[in-house]
């Protein structure tokens, strides 16, 4: 994957931003979330890149292998932050409800209202792809897996159903959050990553 | 090479004189564009080739000029904005009063910018610096001397001159020390501290760093668009060029300078783009976004200073190169956007975003510039703005990895702020493009709009070519720019100088593939999208209902209203108990204005009225004051407090 994937990751992220320009109410909310969301995303990337010394996804993946990283508090800070990234990017409860049929509550669905047929299928497919890419990313760079390409890949893939179930469970017991509160949740996630940076910096100084 | 530059300067000088005869306006502007093109090409050649021309830096006070690689980059940047601006001015200025004088002053302004980046001694540098400050104000006032413009220009001159004193202090102290062209000033001692602080304030004011940015969103929008493009694209970048010379070349900056610049830059980025997203007028929005981008570049420079202080030359070079590349990509995009704003104003007579709409179909060239340059501004891949923003972020990441807790926390905070700024930039650009280009026209003027005159379309084409070139070349340019860092690129390290898929054949292939895929998809669909009324839960859509700009940013404004404190007024007119009309208005006042400038203004006015009391006009009172001053001085001298 290499650096290309890092760029593509940001590309997917930003492509999502532009797609929002078409709808209005949903798009406005989406963009409002993106403000603290981007801070959160970059903060998470920073915390994860600290032990790795690079933002190359290969490097991140390699440095998240084995159990060593779990002794570092920085990695612990990355865990909730990444969880929030997954929730935001996949548009899940409590941030968004992907199954809603009420226009007033839509976020990501809102801009898709005016599409039909093949175009709508395309957009839905893009949303699905984003879903899996983000989950795979979370599994690869945050969750523990053995070193070495093949066993590592197998364990990383094995984490996917676990993540999916975790998302489903979260969705079942969380109600959708009030619109104004979600950015604050994301911002507190960003602050957690700042804590992670501080923890890592002080740890390195000792 | 020197002959080429001199010939180009002569061409521009001729281009300045010709427009004074009204018939020769076009010829003069063409000469200006040609001259700037030559200067830009010469600058780019010197930046690549490495062999400088003219004199080297000296601390003596006799005006000399020369070009080295960094100056070459800046010349390329200035030309990248000034050439399309001069071309666009042919059509833009034609119907304005006193167009000849404005065109002449614009040419002089471009020459002053060239002068600042090629000056090789303190006297030439400061002289060109002052010209660069004064000329746009003169040009804007010549073009339009209405009270709001006069007010804006007064504030511009007041703030930049008070802050600009820092430039004089920094440059003259450095010259006195022989540091310009000699061994750099050491980091220890009070002198270095004073110089660094003065340079931050002086150059920072001109670059629009918070809290010294107040003049920028006032002055840039009121100038003619072709002038705003040069001000917003090139002039602020030249200010940061001055900061680079002082902080990186002429002195070894004190330890605090890096983190302070990093923090100020990140804060500037957020504040700038926050208010950009809240603006409802196109050029004001763009001016606020300029503040953001200067903040991003300044943050990268701060990270580079800090990394250099820590001895990490490789990451420092990356941050440095990122800052320069960001200046270049921002100049190309912002220059184009201001020219497009000029075209929109010419076609519709308004810049109020809520009155525009549907211009994408009516003004395809202007729409294309707005779309492409806007995407670059919002740092969307594969635009060049994404490459530079990514390089800047990598630089700041590097600063967070340095083994120093306090610096790491500052850098981590800066990363979060820059992330929020990037999200807000996308919001602001989405608002700009959505309101201006898409949807139904929101006013008669925009419904009747047609494409701008030929010269402006030509300028748009130049801008688009430049942006496309940057998309192809940004990945190639970045290592070269990083090589300009005083410490060099340093020995390898894990820091990636190449951002993938941003330069060369790979990008070209990717773009071609994207274009083919898009075309194929549109063809495959086989039919145009059916026109159908939009879905509003079964109600008919009425013209007054579409989202406004304020509505689009409302979700975000609610989330941060505790900080922003927007104001809102609703007036209800009743007659006989029945509501006749509801009028609502809202605005988001600038917090920095309210918290810093108004109290400062009050204090200054009170101090002035106190001082006025001394001016009694009575000779005896003055003599008494003089006598008292003399006595106090003598007493202090005797006490040994005055050496």
Q: What DSSP line would sit under chain A, residue for residue? A: -HHHHHHHHHHHHHHHHHHTTSSSHHHHHHHHHHHHHHHHHHHHHHHHHHHHTS--HHHHHHHTBSSGGGGSHHHHHHHHHHHHHHHHHHT-TTT--TT---GGG-SSSGGGTT--HHHHHHHHHHHHHHHHHHHHHHHHHTS-B-SSHHHHHHHHHHHHHHHHHHHHHHHHH-PPPPTTHHHHHHHHHHHHHHHHHHHHHHHHH-
Q: What is the pLDDT of residue A63?
A: 65
Give A69→chain B minimum CA distance, Å: 16
Compute the nearest-CA separation of A184 from chain B (Å): 8
What confidence category does residue B53 fall into, taking pLDDT thresholds of 50, 70 and 90? confident
> B174 or A72: whose pLDDT is higher?
B174
Confidence grade of residue A116 (pLDDT, cut at 50, 70, 90) = low
Chosen from B271, B375, B416, B526 to mutate, greatest number of chain A CBs within 10 A: B416
The alpha-carbon gap from B294 to the nearest alpha carbon of chain A, in Å, equals 19
Rounded Cα distance, A80 and B469, in Å: 41
Q: Cα distance from A80 to chain B (closest Cα, Å)?
A: 16
Which spans in B378-453 are helix H? Answer: 384-401, 405-437, 444-447
Chain A residues 84-113 with a CB less than 8 Å from chain B: 103, 113
Please count the structural domains in chain A: 1
Q: What is the pLDDT of residue B446?
A: 73
Query: Is the model more confident about B147 or about A32?
Result: B147
Cβ contact, residue pair B430, A18, below 8 Å: yes
Whether the predicted pLDDT of A177 surpasses 80: no
Does the distance separating the beta carbons of A190 and B416 come in below 8 Å?
Answer: yes
Query: Å from B327 to nearest chain A CA?
Result: 21
Closest CA to B481 of B461, B503, B505, B465: B503
Give the minimum alpha-carbon distance from A31 to chain B in angstroms, rounded to a whole number. Answer: 6
Q: What is the pLDDT of residue A6?
A: 44
Look up residue B515 and give its two tokens: 């274009």
What confidence score (pLDDT) does residue B610 get?
Answer: 84
- Residue A82 belongs to domain spanning: 2-205
Contact A114/B at CB under 8 A? yes
What single-letter DSSP state applies at residue B353?
G
Which whole number is the average pLDDT over B593-605? 81
Given CB atoms, is A204 within the 8 Å cutoff of chain B?
Answer: yes
The rounded distance, in Å, linking the Cα atoms of B82 and B90 is 13
pLDDT of residue B492: 47
Looking at per-residue confidence, does B105 or B566 come out higher?
B105
What pLDDT is attached to residue B235?
92
Contact list, A119 vs chain B (CB under 8 Å): 525, 529
Residue B380 has what DSSP assignment?
-
Q: Which residues are CB-neighbours of B361 under 8 A, at least 6 positions away?
A: B367
Q: How far is C-alpha B580 from the chain's CA centre?
A: 46
**Cis peptide leading into A94, omega within 30 of 0?**
yes
Please write the tens of the pLDDT for every residue from B356-392.
877 877 888 888 888 889 888 887 766 778 888 888 8
How many other β-carbons are positioned within 10 Å of the β-carbon of residue A39? 28
Digit-coded pLDDT (tens) for B292-335: 999 999 999 999 999 888 888 778 888 898 899 999 999 999 99
Provide the β-strand partners of residue B185. Answer: B251
- pLDDT, position B214: 83
Interface test with B, best of A9, A23, A35, A177 (most B CBs within 10 A): A35
Which pLDDT score, from 0 to 100, does residue A37 have? 67
Cβ distance of B552 and A28 shorter than 8 Å: yes
Q: Kindly determine whether residue B393 and residue A15, on different chains, have CB atoms separated by under 8 Å.
A: no
- What band does B201 get if pLDDT is binned at 50, 70 and 90? very high
How many Å apart are CA B107 and CA B35, to the nearest integer? 10
Put simply, the answer to whether A20 touches B430 (Cβ < 8 Å) is yes
- Nearest by CB to A34, from B382, B426, B537: name it: B426
3-state helix/strand/coil string of B466-498 = HHHHHHHHHHHHHHHHHCCCCCCCCCCCCCCCC
Which residues from chain B sit within 8 angstroms of residue A14, using beta carbons? 378-381, 386, 426
> Which residue is associated with the tokens 């471009």?
B110
Instruction: Answer whether residue B499 shows pLDDT above 70.
Output: no
A vs B: CB pairs below 8 A: 172
What pLDDT does A16 receive?
Answer: 43
CA distance B212 to B206: 8
Residues 13-42 of A with CB under 8 A from B: 14-15, 17-18, 20-22, 24-25, 27-29, 31-32, 34-42
Nearest CA in chain B to A2: B500
Strands B567-575, B66-67: pairing is unpaired
Q: Please tell me the pTM assigned to this model.
A: 0.85
Across the interface, of A35, A184, A198, the residue whose CB is closest to B420 is A35
Give the three-class secondary structure for B67: strand
Task: Say whether pLDDT at A54 is over 70.
Answer: no
pLDDT tens string B10-46 = 888 888 888 887 778 888 888 899 999 999 999 998 8
ipTM: 0.77
Whether residue B499 and residue A3 make contact (CB cut-off 8 A), yes or no, is yes
Task: Give the pair of three-digit tokens for residue B477.
Answer: 């340019």
Q: Which residues contact B196 (CB under 8 A, 6 or more apart)?
A: B170, B246, B247, B251, B253, B254, B256, B257
> Taking CB atoms and an 8 Å cutoff, what residues of chain A touch B495?
54
Domain chopping of chain B, boundaries: 258-508, 591-639
The pLDDT value recorded for residue B479 is 79
Query: For A140-154, what is each residue's pLDDT tens digit?
Result: 777 777 666 677 777
Cβ separation of B423 and A7 shorter than 8 Å?
no
Q: Per mean pLDDT, which range of A33-37, A85-89, B427-431, B572-576 is the poorest?
A: A33-37
Asked if the Cβ–Cβ distance from A14 to B501 is below 8 Å, we say no
In A, which residues are within 8 Å of B401 by CB distance?
Answer: 49-50, 53
Whether pLDDT at A205 is above 50: no
CB contact under 8 A, A14 and B393: no
**Quick check: A58 pLDDT over 70?**
no
Asked if B185 and B132 count as a contact pair (C-beta separation under 8 A), the reply is no
Instruction: Compare all CA atoms of chain B with the CA of A116 and give the residue at the minimum distance.
Output: B529
Q: Is the dihedral of CA A81, A82, A88, A92 positive or negative?
A: negative
Tell me how far apart the terminal alpha carbons of chain B are, to the nearest angstrom.
Answer: 53
Angle at which helix B313-348 crosses helix B454-482, to 10 degrees, equals 170
């Amino acid at each position: 994957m290499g650096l290309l994937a890092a760029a593509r990751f940001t590309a997917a992220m930003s492509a999502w931003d532009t797609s929002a320009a078409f709808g209005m109410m949903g798009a406005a909310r989406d963009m409002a979330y993106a403000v603290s969301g981007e801070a959160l995303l970059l903060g998470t990337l920073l915390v994860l890149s600290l032990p790795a010394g690079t933002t190359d996804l290969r490097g991140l993946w390699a440095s998240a292998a084995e159990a060593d990283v779990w002794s570092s508090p920085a990695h612990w800070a990355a865990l909730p932050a990444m969880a929030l990234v997954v929730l935001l990017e996949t548009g899940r409860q409590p941030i968004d409800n992907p199954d809603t049929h009420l226009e007033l509550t839509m976020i990501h669905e809102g801009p898709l209202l005016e599409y039909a047929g093949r175009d709508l299928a395309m957009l839905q497919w893009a949303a699905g792809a984003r879903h899996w890419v983000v989950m795979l990313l979370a599994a690869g760079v945050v969750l523990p897996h053995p070193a070495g390409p093949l066993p590592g890949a197998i364990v990383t893939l094995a984490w996917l159903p676990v993540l999916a179930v975790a998302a489903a469970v979260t969705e079942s017991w969380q109600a959708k959050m009030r619109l104004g509160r979600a950015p604050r949740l994301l911002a507190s996630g960003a602050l957690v990553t700042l804590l992670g940076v501080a923890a890592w910096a002080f740890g390195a100084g000792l | 090479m020197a002959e080429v530059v001199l010939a180009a300067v002569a061409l521009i000088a001729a281009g300045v004189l010709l427009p004074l005869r009204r018939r020769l306006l076009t010829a003069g502007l063409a000469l200006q564009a040609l001259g700037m093109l030559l200067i830009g090409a010469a600058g780019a050649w010197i930046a690549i080739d490495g062999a400088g021309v003219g004199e080297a830096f000296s601390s003596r006070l006799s005006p000399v000029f020369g070009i080295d690689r960094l100056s070459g980059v800046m010349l390329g940047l200035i030309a990248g904005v000034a050439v399309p601006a001069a071309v666009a001015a042919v059509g833009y200025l034609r119907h304005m009063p006193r167009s000849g004088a404005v065109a002449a002053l614009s040419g002089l302004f471009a020459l002053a910018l060239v002068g600042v980046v090629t000056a090789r001694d303190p006297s030439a540098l400061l002289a060109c610096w002052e010209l660069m400050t004064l000329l746009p104000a003169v040009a804007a006032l010549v073009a339009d001397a209405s009270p709001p413009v006069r007010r804006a220009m007064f504030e511009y001159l007041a703030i930049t001159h008070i802050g600009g004193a820092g430039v004089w202090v920094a440059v003259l102290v450095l010259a006195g020390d022989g540091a310009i062209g000699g061994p750099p000033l050491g980091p220890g001692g009070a002198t270095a501290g004073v110089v660094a602080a003065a340079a931050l304030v002086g150059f920072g004011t001109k670059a629009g760093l918070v809290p010294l940015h107040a003049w920028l969103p006032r002055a840039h929008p009121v100038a003619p668009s072709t002038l705003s493009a040069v001000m917003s694209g090139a002039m602020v970048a030249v200010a940061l060029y001055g900061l680079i010379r002082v902080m990186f070349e002429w002195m070894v900056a004190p330890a605090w300078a890096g983190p302070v610049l990093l923090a100020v830059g990140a804060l500037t980025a957020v504040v700038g783009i926050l208010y950009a997203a809240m603006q409802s007028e196109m050029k004001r929005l763009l001016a606020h976004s300029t503040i953001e981008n200067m903040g991003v570049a300044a943050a990268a420079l701060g990270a580079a200073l800090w990394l250099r202080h820590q001895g990490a030359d490789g990451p420092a070079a990356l941050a440095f190169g990122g800052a320069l590349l960001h200046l270049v990509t921002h100049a190309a995009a912002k220059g184009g956007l201001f020219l497009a704003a000029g075209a929109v104003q010419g076609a519709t007579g308004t810049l109020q975003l809520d009155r525009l709409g549907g211009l994408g179909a009516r003004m395809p060239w202007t729409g294309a510039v707005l779309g492409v340059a806007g995407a670059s501004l919002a740092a969307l891949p594969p635009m060049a703005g994404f490459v530079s923003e990514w390089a800047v972020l990598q630089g700041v990441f590097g600063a967070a990895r340095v083994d120093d807790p306090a610096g790491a926390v500052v850098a981590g905070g800066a990363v979060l702020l820059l992330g929020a700024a990037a999200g807000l930039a996308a919001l602001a650009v989405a608002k700009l493009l959505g309101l201006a280009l898409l949807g139904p026209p929101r006013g008669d003027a925009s419904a009747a709009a047609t494409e701008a005159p030929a010269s402006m379309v030509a300028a748009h084409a130049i801008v688009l070519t430049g942006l496309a070139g940057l998309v192809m070349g940004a990945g190639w340019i970045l290592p070269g720019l990083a090589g300009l860092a005083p410490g060099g690129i340093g020995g390898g390290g894990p820091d990636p100088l190449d951002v993938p898929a941003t330069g060369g054949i790979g990008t070209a292939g990717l773009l071609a593939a994207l274009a083919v895929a898009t075309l194929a998809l549109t063809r495959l669909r086989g039919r145009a999208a059916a026109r159908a009324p939009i879905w509003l839960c079964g109600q008919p859509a009425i013209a007054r209902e579409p989202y406004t700009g304020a509505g689009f940013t409302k979700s975000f404004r609610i989330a941060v209203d505790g900080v922003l404190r927007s104001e809102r007024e609703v007036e209800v007119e009743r007659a006989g108990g029945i509501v006749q009309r509801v009028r609502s208005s809202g605005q988001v006042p600038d917090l920095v204005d309210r918290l810093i400038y108004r109290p400062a203004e009050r204090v200054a006015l009170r101090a002035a009225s106190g001082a006025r009391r001394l001016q009694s006009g009575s000779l005896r009172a003055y003599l008494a004051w003089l006598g008292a001053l003399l006595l106090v001085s003598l007493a202090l001298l005797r006490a040994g407090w005055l050496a």
